[in-house]
Amino acid sequence: MQTGKTVASPLILGIETSCDETAAAVLRGRAILSNVIASQADIHREYGGVVPELASRHHLERIDAVIDMALRRAGVSLDDLDAVAVTRGPGLVGSLLVGLQAAKAIAYVRRLPLLAVNHLEGHLRSVWLEHPAAAFPAVSLIASGGHTSLYLSADEERVVRLARTRDDASGEAFDKVAKLVGLGYPGGPVVDRLAKTGDRLSVRLSPPKMSDGSLDFSFSGFKTAVLRHARARGLDRRFPAGEPDQETRDLLASFQSAVVEFMVKRVMTVAIRERALSIGLSGGVACNSLLRSRVAEEARKAGLESYAVSPSLASDNAAMIAEVGRRLLLRGEIADLAVNADPGLEF
Ligand code: KG4
Ligand code: ZN
């Protein structure tokens, strides 16, 4: 295996299969040449959430075609690559293994450096990949279906986690609430759309109080409060016909607003306390229109820059994985071909 040959702008293939998106991307340096994402949402929708066995099987069926497409769209071939980067965790073990095997095969056959990437670091860096001029210190919120954490970065190297969720992730709360009122998976996008025609002041949902003054997140209380309200009002329908009624849309708007304001408050508290100069939003929930506009508004009021990544870089993607890989390559942190998936990898 080649070890980290020094190339100013290496050509890196990224591969991501940690959950239900089969993704591959090609970066030259920090320039995204292609970013292919094959979503499995249609497959998991009828089950109301990701079914791990189905996810790994579909990754297996699609991975080769997705990699081919990423190379073709980038106008390069395997011969041109300088390295292969792949997510090694956290995520579903069966899904992770598919990407890891594909990356190992390419690295072995082409004698390329293998770069084993933490998925969450990918989400964090997606903001700076898209907005390289973002100022530091920076506060970053990663809000996704599996994680919701807050980080402070003195610069691109020095990153510390300040808070995480103690129970559900924010995206998980969106998904569970959507399922509760009979809407499909993933719930975030549909709640976002329906909340636009609902009254966010109709149902009062209080944010959790942390008795120890911690900045940690907690979303399960919002979900339970929605469940109680929906049951009391008969809104917890399994298969409602047509579009949800006004009362359901009011409840969804109230839920979305409560969850978003809770996250905005945490982000702004940390940003001001730590004298941050910019705020970054990443992860699937960063697609939420209310979260994007509220963070932008509060950041503007406080005189801070704010960056919410574009949807193609917010949800799971392989461009962010290639970007972390690029940094590992620069540091010479090449993975052994025996590297294993780590479903519980921390960041
Ligand atoms: O980052 P991501 O694609 O996968 C994980 O790493 O989990 O995030 C997926 C999550 C899902 O829970 C989905 O419902 C949520 O992001 N999501 C949204 C929106 N779009 C996606 N949540 C709220 N509003 C949205 N517009
Ligand atoms: Zn993710």
User: Is 91 close to ligand 1, i.e. is its CB under 6 Å away?
Assistant: no
**Cβ neighbours for 297, distance < 8 A, ≥ 6 positions apart:** none
Distances (CA, A) of 85 to 25, 79, 96: 10, 15, 13
- The residue-averaged pLDDT of 46-66 equals 90
Q: For 4-59, list the strands marked E by DSSP.
A: 11-16, 21-28, 31-39
What is the pLDDT, as a whole number, of residue 210?
85
Ligand number nearest to the C-alpha of 219? 1
Local confidence band at 5 (pLDDT 50, 70, 90 cut-offs): low
Ligand 1 centre and the CA of 173: distance in Å? Answer: 10
How many whole angstroms from 33 Cα to the centroid of ligand 2? 21
Instruction: Decide whether any atom of ligand 1 lies within 6 Å of the 82 Cβ.
Output: no
Average pLDDT of the chain, as a whole number: 94
Residue 20 in 3-state DSSP?
A: coil
Q: What is the pLDDT, as a whole number, of residue 4? A: 46
For residue range 153-175, list pLDDT tens digits in order: 999 999 999 999 999 999 999 99
| Residue 75 DSSP class | T
CB 172 within 8 A of CB 146: yes
Question: Is 89 touching ligand 1 by the criterion CB < 6 Å?
Answer: no
Strand partners, 39: 21
What pLDDT is attached to residue 6? Answer: 58
**CB 50 near ligand 1, within 6 Å:** no
β-pairing, 148-153 vs 159-163, is antiparallel
| pLDDT for 241 | 66
Instruction: Report residue 70's pLDDT band, with 50, 70 and 90 as the boundaries.
Output: very high
Distance 247 CA to ligand 2 centre (A): 32
What is the rounded distance in angstroms from the CA atom of residue 277 to the CA atom of residue 117? 27
Percent of the chain with pLDDT over 70: 97
Give the number of the atom of ligand 1 that is nearest the alpha carbon of residue 146: 7
CB 16 less than 6 A from any atom of ligand 1: no
Q: Which ligand is nearest to the CA of 176?
A: 1
| Residue 87 in contact with ligand 1 by CB distance below 6 A | no
Q: What is the pLDDT of residues 174-204, one digit of tens each?
A: 999 999 998 888 999 999 999 999 999 999 9
Best substitution site from 222, 315, 347 to test ligand 1's pocket, by max atoms within 8 Å of Cβ? 315
How confident is the model over 236-250, as a mean pLDDT?
Answer: 83
Considering only CA atoms, which residue is closest to atom 3 of ligand 1?
315
pLDDT tens, position by position, 295-346: 999 999 999 999 999 999 999 999 999 999 999 999 999 999 999 999 999 9
Q: What is the band of 67 on the pLDDT scale with cuts at 50, 70, 90?
A: very high
Residue 185 near ligand 1, beta carbon < 6 Å: no
Cβ–ligand 1 contact at 219 (below 6 Å): no
CA of residue 231 to ligand 2 center, whole Å: 31
Tell me, what's the pLDDT at 240?
A: 65
The pLDDT assigned to 237 comes to 78
- Alpha helices (runs of H) in the chain, residue ranges in sequence order: 41-45, 52-74, 93-110, 119-130, 170-180, 187-195, 220-233, 246-273, 289-302, 311-314, 319-331
Is 189's C-beta closer than 6 angstroms to any atom of ligand 1?
yes
Distance 110 CA to ligand 1 centre (A): 35
- For residue 4 the two structure tokens come to 């980290």
Q: How far apart are CA 195 and CA 220, in angstroms?
A: 20
**From the alpha carbon of 311, which atom of ligand 1 is closest?**
20
pLDDT digits (tens, 9 = 90+) for 124-158: 999 999 999 999 999 999 999 999 999 999 999 99
Which ligand approaches the C-alpha of residue 171 most closely? 1
Nearest ligand, CA of residue 117? 2
Give the residue among 86, 90, 79, 83 at the shortest CA–CA distance from 103: 86
Cβ of residue 90 lying under 6 Å from some atom of ligand 1: no
